[in-house]
């Protein structure tokens, strides 16, 4: 039992001596850099020294306090296992610059006095200072948290990232602010504030400065004192006492009755009662029915309007220009994909009647059914006498050497529609819509792609010939549906190939809008 008590006593004594206090005298410095997760308390005095507490003796050598070129560097140069209440009390004579990074904590208990001081913070540093200075510059980035009290003549502020600045207790005569990212800032300016706020930053200005020249852009916002500020997209509302200012909205309306303010900005309604703000949006009555992603099947009809492109074999001798069989398709592998990226609706009567235009990209993939190779100079197959005017004719030649696993005919257009549209309901998700009109297209490119095996090796060949296709197209289209469901059908009025330079075929497509914008 005696041994047990003795062991406990030895352990208790050793535990007490684990945490050590150490004082270190420092040479002169005028700048401070902290780059490790330390808590540092600043004390203004007549000597330069640090007092370290809460660090076991064995780890003290790993806590560096080094002065190089007038800069005091405080950092960990090895493992440090410290107590929760570890603190470094730094007494200084002169200090012009401070650079705090990482998860460092910088604070003070008694007010500090500077002629000019620059504070730079980054990472997840935490700052809580009470100071007086003629000129104070703060450069902050990352997710720094900065709380300031005191007075300064000139406060120069440059913040970015997600900085949280609470400087309402720092009274500044003149403030210059530059803020970006998603910073949240509060400053106190009594005379003048200038600068720019961008990104998603919010700036609150206390002190009622006589001059306020802060430029606000992006999704950022600025408010003053107890004024109410509401931002909806690019639209902004500022309520200052009995004055209401709206920017960024052409169709707006304001009604003020006693302590209630009602504001309408397009489909957005703002209700302000005393300090309470409520925002509601009127449901959109119309969806975009052109803009979106279209996917469907496509094919050809002949000049008789028939889907059957088969023909009597005798036509190849008697009327070769009526031959269309080589353009027969495998409809299971033929498809159209459209990315309609822009739409504009011109109202004729509210949302119910109007004209639609826009822009889109159309990609057609036609899978040829037969083992043919397309040639664009096949005039010899349809004319007895060949010259420069009739040598170009798109013809399908049966390939007896290669067995194609794929032979795809592809076209790529940029389109612009002109449609008349009808919407029956008052809710975009429940309204029946019908639109009809024309699509005007310009062809970017035409291509044939062949895939086959040669001695067991897979081969892919691309033919980027024009194949005498029409450079322009005009197509009739109908689009109908309910809410988000949209079906479409198109029929080209212009033939696929130029007149006399290929079989007379007219493309068509039917499908569905997968994603409306």
Domain end call among 239, 254, 282 = 282
Higher pLDDT, residue 427 or 80: 80
pLDDT for the residue numbered 15: 44
SS3 320: helix
The verdict on residue 441 lying in a domain is yes
CB 125 within 8 A of CB 103: yes
Q: How many domains does the chain have?
A: 2
Higher pLDDT, residue 284 or 170: 170
- Whether 347 and 410 share a structural domain: yes
- Whether 329 and 359 share a structural domain: yes
Q: How far does Cα 356 stand from its chain's mean position?
A: 27
- Whether 262 and 327 share a structural domain: no
Close Cβ partners of 348 (under 8 Å, ≥ 6 residues apart): 354, 355
The verdict on residue 301 lying in a domain is yes
pLDDT tens-digit readout, 401-442: 889 999 999 999 999 999 999 988 776 677 889 999 999 999
The verdict on residue 330 lying in a domain is yes
pLDDT for the residue numbered 2: 47
- Whether 318 and 463 share a structural domain: yes
- Cα atoms in the Cβ-side hemisphere of radius 13 Å centred on 361: 6
Q: How many residues does the chain have?
A: 517
pLDDT tens-digit readout, 28-59: 999 999 988 889 999 999 999 999 998 888 88
- Whether 332 and 445 share a structural domain: yes
Residue 234 has pLDDT above 80, yes or no: no
Q: What is the pTM of this model?
A: 0.49
pLDDT bracket for residue 227 (50, 70, 90): low
pLDDT bracket for residue 229 (50, 70, 90): low
Of the ranges 183-187, 231-235, 489-493, the best mean pLDDT one: 489-493
- Arithmetic mean of pLDDT, 128-149: 92
The verdict on residue 348 lying in a domain is yes
- Whether 324 and 423 share a structural domain: yes
pLDDT tens-digit readout, 356-388: 999 999 999 999 999 999 999 998 888 878 887
- Whether 273 and 303 share a structural domain: no
- Whether 256 and 382 share a structural domain: no
Task: Please count the other Cβ atoms lying within 10 Å of the Cβ belonging to residue 382.
Answer: 20
Q: Which of 25-39, 140-154, 209-223, 348-362 has the lowest mean pLDDT?
A: 209-223
pLDDT for the residue numbered 357: 96
- Whether 375 and 317 share a structural domain: yes
pLDDT for the residue numbered 54: 87
**Whole-angstrom Cα distance, residue 296 to residue 337?**
7
The verdict on residue 261 lying in a domain is yes
The CA-atom distances, in angstroms, between 387 and each of 318, 334, 384, 467 are 20, 35, 10, 18
- Whether 440 and 301 share a structural domain: yes
The verdict on residue 30 lying in a domain is no
pLDDT for the residue numbered 386: 83
pLDDT tens-digit readout, 325-353: 999 999 999 999 999 999 999 999 887 89
**Whole-angstrom Cα distance, residue 376 to residue 469?**
9
pLDDT for the residue numbered 271: 72
pLDDT mean across residues, the chain = 85
pLDDT for the residue numbered 318: 81
Residue 4 has pLDDT above 50, yes or no: no
**Whole-angstrom Cα distance, residue 301 to residue 328?**
10
**Whole-angstrom Cα distance, residue 222 to residue 225?**
10
- Please list the residues that pair with 418 across neighbouring strands: 357, 438
The verdict on residue 449 lying in a domain is yes
- Whether 314 and 268 share a structural domain: no
The verdict on residue 128 lying in a domain is no
Enumerate long-range contacts of 198-203, CB under 8 Å, 24 or more apart: 201/159, 203/177, 203/179
> Which range marks the domain in which residue 243 is found?
230-282
The pair phi, psi for residue 381, each rounded to 5°, is -85, -15
pLDDT > 90 fraction of the chain, expressed in percent and rounded: 56
Q: Which of 29-38, 228-237, 470-479, 487-496 has the lowest mean pLDDT?
A: 228-237
- Please list the residues that pair with 307 across neighbouring strands: none
pLDDT for the residue numbered 352: 86
Residue 470 has pLDDT above 90, yes or no: yes
Q: Which of 178-187, 391-400, 441-450 has the lowest mean pLDDT?
A: 178-187
Angle, CA of 236, 237 and 243, to the nearest 5°? 145
- Whether 278 and 296 share a structural domain: no
pLDDT bracket for residue 249 (50, 70, 90): low
Angle, CA of 369, 464 and 304, to the nearest 5°? 45
pLDDT bracket for residue 8 (50, 70, 90): very low
Task: Please count the other Cβ atoms lying within 10 Å of the Cβ belonging to residue 345.
Answer: 19
């Amino acid at each position: 039992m005696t041994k047990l008590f003795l062991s406990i006593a030895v352990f208790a004594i050793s535990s007490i001596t684990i945490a050590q206090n150490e004082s270190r005298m420092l040479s002169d410095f005028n700048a401070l850099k902290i780059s490790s997760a330390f808590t540092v308390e600043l004390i203004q005095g007549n000597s330069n020294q640090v007092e370290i507490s809460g660090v076991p003796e064995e780890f003290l050598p790993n806590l560096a306090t080094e002065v190089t070129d007038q800069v005091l560097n405080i950092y960990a140069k090895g493992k440090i296992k410290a107590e929760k209440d570890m603190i470094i009390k730094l007494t200084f004579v002169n200090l012009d610059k401070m650079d705090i990074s990482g998860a460092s904590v910088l604070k003070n208990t008694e007010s500090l006095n500077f002629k000019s001081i620059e504070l730079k913070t980054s990472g997840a540093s935490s700052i809580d200072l009470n100071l007086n200075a003629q000129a104070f510059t703060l450069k902050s980035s990352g997710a720094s948290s900065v709380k300031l009290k005191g007075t300064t003549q000139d406060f120069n502020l440059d913040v970015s990232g997600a900085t949280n600045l609470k400087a309402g207790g720092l009274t500044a005569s003149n403030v210059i602010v530059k803020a970006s990212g998603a910073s949240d800032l509060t400053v106190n300016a009594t005379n003048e504030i200038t600068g720019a706020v961008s990104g998603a930053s919010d700036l609150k200005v206390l002190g009622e400065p006589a001059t306020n020249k802060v430029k606000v852009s992006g999704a950022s916002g600025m408010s003053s004192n107890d004024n109410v500020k509401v931002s909806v997209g690019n639209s902004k509302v500022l309520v200052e006492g009995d004055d209401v200012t709206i920017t960024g909205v052409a169709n707006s309306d304001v009604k003020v009755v006693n302590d209630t303010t009602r504001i309408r900005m397009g489909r957005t309604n703002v209700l302000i009662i005393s300090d309470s703000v409520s925002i509601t949006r009127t449901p959109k009555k119309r969806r975009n029915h052109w803009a979106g992603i279209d996917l469907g099947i496509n094919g050809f009809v002949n000049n008789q309007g028939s889907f059957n492109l088969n023909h009597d074999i005798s036509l190849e001798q008697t009327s070769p220009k009526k031959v269309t069989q080589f353009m027969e398709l495998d409809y299971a592998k033929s498809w159209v994909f459209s990315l309609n990226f822009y739409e504009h609706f011109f109202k004729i009567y509210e949302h119910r009647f109007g004209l639609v235009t826009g822009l889109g990209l159309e990609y057609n993939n036609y899978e040829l059914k037969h083992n043919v190779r397309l040639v664009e100079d096949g005039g010899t197959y349809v004319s007895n006498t060949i010259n420069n005017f009739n040598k170009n004719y798109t013809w399908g030649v049966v390939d007896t050497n290669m067995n194609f696993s794929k032979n795809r005919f592809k076209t790529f257009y940029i389109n612009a529609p002109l449609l008349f549209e009808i919407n029956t309901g008052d809710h975009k998700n429940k309204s029946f819509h019908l639109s009809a009109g024309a699509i005007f297209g310009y062809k970017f490119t035409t291509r044939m792609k062949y895939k086959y095996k040669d001695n067991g090796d897979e081969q892919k060949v691309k033919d980027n010939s024009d194949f005498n296709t029409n450079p322009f197209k005009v197509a009739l289209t109908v689009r109908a549906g309910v809410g988000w469901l949209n079906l479409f059908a198109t029929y080209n009025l212009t033939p696929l190939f130029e007149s006399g330079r290929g079989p007379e075929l007219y493309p068509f497509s039917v499908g569905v809008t997968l994603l409306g914008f």
